[in-house]
Chains A and B, each alone.
Chain A
Amino acid sequence: MSIRTLLGLVAILVIGGALSLVLSDYSLRLMNLAVVSAVAVIGLNFAFGYSGLISLGHSAFAGLSAYCVAILTTKLGLSPWVAMPVAIIATALSAALIGYPLLRLKGHYLALATLGFNVSFTIVAINWLDLTGGTNGIAGIPHLSVAGYELSDERSFLWFALISLTLVAAAAAAIHRSRHGRAMIAVRDDEIAAAMAGIDVTGVKVAAFTLAGTCAAIAGCLFATHIRFVAPEDFNYAHSITYLAMLIVGGEGSIAGAIIGAVVLTFLPEWLRVLGDAYLLFFGLMMLVILVILPTGIVGLVRRISLKRRSPGDETTNVPARAGAHS
């Protein structure tokens, strides 16, 4: 692990921990939601940021996992610590099974197919009343307990969520720096050249999609044990689009970007509450501006500024590639 990655991981814990001491209960709740989203968006970064697979069904994987936890704990009486690994494994397997046929599609066809998957998931969650409770959802998911201490308040849960985020970010950084990370980036840049470098393009795509689904599953577990209630509207396609927006705003292809995007877009409605309903108009315009002016997101902007400071006369030469994408 590089020093830069290590510093990034420590920063997550230190900044998050410091904020947990000063924020109000409401802000802590938002912070928890931001951290849960960050875990999901780090997953989306594997599919979209590294491999170029446009997934508009990411929220369905979080939902699948959250419902697994809810059903296993409330209907079968299992401990959340047993339910969560089961939910993550089941969701990862589902992602692999769904990804294999879907990933034969490319570009907007893939986007539409994944969107269809998310819509289907929501329809099933609404209509399978016996299992999911329909639109009423499932309530009464038990609190998580660590060494006999119940994570029942926002502050203690935030610490657990931050540790989870740090572990997911560390794993993502390790994958990014490995041959598997390079293979994903190669597939996105040029599938034919990737195959010509001996990379199994289909295998890499399915692996990236499965990793994305696994991270979404972890986020789903965190969501279920934090809110202690799951309902279909928490995992509809709009959330998938929000995850994608978070990644684009923060900076696709970057773990730091995924985290920053998740935090910014979770808190943005609060910061812009003064705008009332005009918030959505502002949000749309902001996305447009970012796509046109900052296609590499906030992290890309920071990187460009730091490169300019380092070599004011020349931005292109002597620049190590893939400078971002660390925690």
Chain B
Amino acid sequence: MTILHTKAISKRYGGLQALSEVNMTVNAGEFLAVIGPNGAGKSTLLNVLTGLTMPTEGKIWLDGKDVTRWATHARIRSGLGRTFQHGRLFERLSAVENVMTGAAVRKGRSEKELQEFAMSILHRMGLSGVARHQISSMSYGQRRMVELCRTLACEPRVLLLDEPAAGLNSGEVELLMERLTALRAEHQLAVVLIEHNMGMVMRLAERIVVLNFGCMIAEGTPAEVQTNPAVLAAYLGEGYSHADV
């Protein structure tokens, strides 16, 4: 079942065509990766999907509803969730309070319920020990995880992750992959992953969309993408082969 769908999404900044007629579908519970070289339009695509930037042309449907002109918060309340490339947290709030802001998306929860829900997510992600800490006292990896917890607290059905492994060490990346796999299985969460870490992409993604200069140049399973000549030329390079993954 399609949960997120775009039709001919384009975004132009003056003379720069950041996205050009991108058609993309995300199915419920699916793990989709979006890859492409720097400047390919990956982050612009996430900005358009979340309403931070309005598309110049095209439509976006979330759960069958046209959300193209919806404000960001309305899309989040309807089931989208997103993390950022460098992690954006509320520095004056503690970790648990950061997560509680996300949990407040669902109306009718008391303060106690909000706190319990936030604590359960932090516990799940191994952060209960730092729940009351200041954000500024946390490591980069912990901050990224707190941001992920806050996004999960919004109870999204489609999770958009903008380079979640950037800046993490190999142990933290491994942990992140384990937790994403578990979360997805448990909540039937659709995940859209933008990532330069090809090992992570090839291991987690069921389907890959490749962007180059704002255009979708390929779409398919990891195996198909790895052998696609256009992808090899544009992104992975002529010398890249399946064995390198």
Residues of A within 8 A of B (CB): 177-179, 182-183, 185-186, 188-190, 192-201, 253, 316-322
A320:B90 contact, CB within 8 angstroms: no
20 contacts between A and B (CB under 8 A): A178-B111, A182-B97, A182-B100, A185-B92, A186-B93, A192-B52, A192-B72, A193-B84, A194-B90, A195-B72, A196-B82, A196-B84, A196-B151, A197-B102, A197-B105, A199-B101, A316-B136, A321-B97, A321-B132, A321-B134
Number of B residues with CB within 8 Å of any CB on chain A: 35
B92:A198 contact, CB within 8 angstroms: no
Please name the residue on chain A nearest to B147 by beta carbon. Answer: A193
Please name the residue on chain B nearest to A203 by beta carbon. Answer: B73
User: Which B residues are in CB contact (< 8 Å) with A189?
Assistant: 89-93
Interface string of B86-122 (1 = CB under 8 A from A): 0011111110010011101100000100100000000
A179 to B93, CA, bound (A): 12
B71:A183 contact, CB within 8 angstroms: no
User: Which B residues are in CB contact (< 8 Å) with A190?
Assistant: 88-90
**Cβ-neighbour of B101 out of A182, A318, A321 (below 8 A):** A182
B133:A197 contact, CB within 8 angstroms: no
Chain B interface SS verdict (over half): mixed
Q: Does B150 reach chain A (CB closer than 8 Å)?
A: yes
A201:B73 contact, CB within 8 angstroms: yes
**Cβ-neighbour of B71 out of A177, A192, A195 (below 8 A):** A195
* Minimum Cβ distance to chain B for residue A254 (Å): 11
Please name the residue on chain B nearest to A50 by beta carbon. Answer: B92
* Minimum Cβ distance to chain B for residue A152 (Å): 43
* Minimum Cβ distance to chain B for residue A181 (Å): 10
**Cβ-neighbour of A179 out of B73, B101, B150 (below 8 A):** B101
The 9 closest A-B pairs by CB, nearest first: A198-B105, A321-B94, A193-B88, A195-B72, A198-B76, A189-B90, A316-B137, A179-B104, A321-B134
A320 to B137, CA, bound (A): 10
User: Which A residues are in CB contact (< 8 Å) with B82?
Assistant: 196
Please name the residue on chain B nearest to A201 by beta carbon. Answer: B73
- Contact A318-B88, Cβ < 8 Å, known A183-B104, A195-B72, A195-B73: no
- Contact A322-B105, Cβ < 8 Å, known A196-B88, A197-B154: no
A245 to B102, CA, bound (A): 33
**Cβ-neighbour of A192 out of B88, B100, B105, B151 (below 8 A):** B88
